[in-house]
Chains A and B, each alone.
Chain A
Amino acid sequence: MIFNDAEIAVLQSDVQNIAAFFRLETDPVVRLWLGFGNIFATATVLDPSGAEYAGFGEIVGLPEFTQMVNGAAERVEFILSGVDGPVLQVAANNDADSVKGRRVSVGIGIFGADWQLLGAPHWMANYRADLLTIERPPVAAPGDRIVGTIKLSCGTLLTSRRRPNFSYFSNQDQQARSPGDNFCEFTPRYANNFNKKWPTFP
């Protein structure tokens, strides 16, 4: 990660203005940052011509993540709480499938004292999105505020490497390996552990 001179000067000072940036590579790309209002970030590796990030304005729980150096693959959960209408719509609108396997990037942006970005966001971690769930816990009293949360579970590229791949000669697995191939279509008809008698010909 390379910081420019202005960013290093700010990081050495006593007050640091830092905000987290979140990018989910769906179509269209979801770009959020932990602050209020929209912000334009200059070019990064992921957006060569820069892009506008929507402010979340409300609590965004970013998980702790570690750089994977000789370590175990990890799984993290991004939890957005205080989620209201439009965001819930994004989550509920059948997008659970469309986020699966997409690239999730988390980074930080460093601001000057006047809240201007001093450089492009620095991406610190990349994940693969896996599971999107919505939670709306019941409240005790009818007047209590319901806090809905969206949870996006993500893993690194190596997270599920020990899980067996599609390894059966069943039609489902064959379709996953090479869609449209009918080679294993009738394998369920073969019974296991059953001795078929050789016919006796007259």
Chain B
Amino acid sequence: MAIEFPRRLLREQNHDWNIVGNTAGAGQTATASVDVRSDGGGLWMASLNSIRFLDATDTRLWRAMRQICNGGITPLVVPRNDIAFVPWPSTVIDGVSVPHMDGALFNDGAGYYQPIIDVKALGAAALRATAMNWTLTYCGALLGGEVFSIEHPTFGWRMYEVATVVVASGGATAAVTFNPPLREAVVDGTRIELDRPRCLMKLASPGAMDLNVTTWPFSLASVKFVESKYAA
């Protein structure tokens, strides 16, 4: 079970999540321009930039996280801050925290979290498929460009980005295409995580979490991740 990057505490000012790959251009001639892609679909790369450290606990948390990362050996589940672009249902109540059975919350005022959007895979999908069918039980309008994650049995959380959506009449199911190709085969009924997309990542280099402490007014730090090749 991989540890999650504490994005609720270490908030970045900007981030980028992109699929990187390599393309070889064969040159432009009068008759043709041929591009050769040889990356097999690419892999995720993310950088969370300018994370502000407001008090001492942030700095200590950062130090703790980089020791957990172990210079890129231990993979982390990194959540993607995508809350503005998630297909929330129109009646969603923001900030629902579920209390204990007796109505009490945790002593810091937080409750349990439960995902709101309910989407499942309709039918199985093969390894490296780039198209799936979804059962939309509770979900806003899908427009394309959504980000979703699937927790695979061996490869853990992996992230995908929707390219096209065709919603069936009635709106109960949808056919989506996405990239990168599925990292592992998906069985019928697998939950599609749209609320909080996340991906199993590791540090891009051993020095990717280096910290430079600013004495005043506050420290800013950045980190770079790449998708982990191996199973979680």
Q: Which residue of A lies closest to B42 (CB)?
A: A36
Q: Which one of A33, A114, A145 contacts B206 once the chains associate, using CB atoms below 8 Å?
A: A145
The answer to whether B177 touches A114, judged by C-beta atoms less than 8 angstroms apart, is yes
Give the chain B neighbours of A89 by CB distance below 8 A. Answer: none
CA gap between A158 and B207 in the complex, in Å: 47
B40 within 8 A of A: yes
The answer to whether A20 touches B38, judged by C-beta atoms less than 8 angstroms apart, is yes
| Interfacial chain B residues near A33, Cβ < 8 Å | 40
Contact B43 A36 (CB under 8 A): yes
With A14-B32, A16-B34, A114-B131 known as contacts, the answer to whether A36 contacts B39 (CB < 8 A) is: yes
Interface residues of A in 100-120 (CB under 8 A from B): 111, 114-116
Please indicate the chain A residues that have their CB under 8 angstroms from the CB of B41 in the complex.
35-37, 115
**By the criterion CB–CB under 8 Å, are A37 and B38 in contact?**
no
Contact A14 B227 (CB under 8 A): no
Interface size on A, residues (CB 8 A): 27
A14-B32, A40-B128, A114-B131 known; A55-B37 Cβ under 8 A: no
B109-130 vs A: 1/0 string, CB under 8 Å?
A: 0000000000000000011111
Contact of A35 among B35, B40, B127, B177 (CB under 8 A): B40
- A18 contacts B by Cβ under 8 Å: yes
- Encode A17-49 as 1/0 by CB contact (under 8 A) with B: 111100000000000011111111000000000
Choose from B34, B73, B131, B181 the contact partner of A37 (Cβ within 8 Å): B181
How near does chain A come to B177, taking the closest CB pair, in angstroms? 7
Interface presence of A199 (CB below 8 A) = no
B127 touches A34 (CB 8 A): no
Is A86 part of the contact surface with B, judged by Cβ < 8 Å?
yes
Tell me the total A-B contact number using a CB cutoff of 8 A: 84
Verify B40–A36 contact, CB threshold 8 A: yes
Nearest Cβ on chain B to A12's Cβ, whole angstroms? 10
Minimal Cβ-Cβ distance residue in B for A14: B34
Minimum CB–CB distance for A202 against chain B, Å: 84
User: Contact check: which of A14, A18, A40, A58 meets B127 at CB < 8 Å?
Assistant: A40
Number of contacting residues on B, CB 8 A? Answer: 32
User: B212 contacts which chain A residues (CB < 8 A)?
Assistant: none
CB of B38 within 8 A of CB of A38, answer no
Asked if A116 meets B39 with Cβ closer than 8 Å, knowing A16-B34, A85-B73, A86-B230, the reply is no
| A191 interfacial contact with B, CB 8 Å | no
Instruction: For B66, list chain A residues within 8 Å (CB).
Output: none
Q: Is the CB of B42 within 8 A of A14?
A: no
The reply to whether the CB of A57 lies closer than 8 angstroms to some CB of chain B is yes
- Residues of A close to B43: CB separation below 8 A: 36-37, 57
Minimum CB–CB distance for A148 against chain B, Å: 13
Q: Is B13 engaged at the interface, CB distance under 8 Å to the other chain? A: no
Tell me the minimal C-beta distance from B102 to chain A in angstroms. 46
The distance in angstroms between the C-alpha atoms of A15 and B205, with both chains bound, is 32
CA distance A58 to B207 in the complex (A): 18
Asked whether any CB of chain B lies closer than 8 Å to the CB of A71, the reply is no
Chain A residues within an 8 Å CB radius of B73: 85
Bound-state Cα–Cα, A39 to B36, Å:
19
Contact of B128 among A39, A57, A58 (CB under 8 A): A39
22 A-B pairs whose Cβ atoms sit less than 8 Å apart in the complex: A14-B33, A15-B34, A15-B35, A15-B36, A16-B34, A19-B38, A20-B38, A34-B38, A34-B40, A36-B40, A36-B229, A37-B40, A37-B41, A38-B127, A38-B128, A38-B184, A40-B128, A58-B229, A86-B230, A114-B131, A145-B205, A145-B207
Q: Which residues of B are interface residues toward A (Cβ below 8 A)?
A: 32-43, 73, 126-131, 155, 177, 179-181, 183-184, 205-207, 227, 229-230
A interface with B by C-beta (< 8 Å): 14-20, 33-40, 52, 55, 57-58, 85-86, 111, 114-116, 143, 145
Q: A15-B36, A114-B177, A115-B128 are in contact. List 15 more A-B contacts (CB 8 A).
A: A19-B38, A19-B40, A33-B40, A34-B38, A34-B40, A35-B39, A35-B40, A35-B41, A36-B229, A37-B41, A37-B155, A37-B180, A38-B183, A55-B40, A111-B40
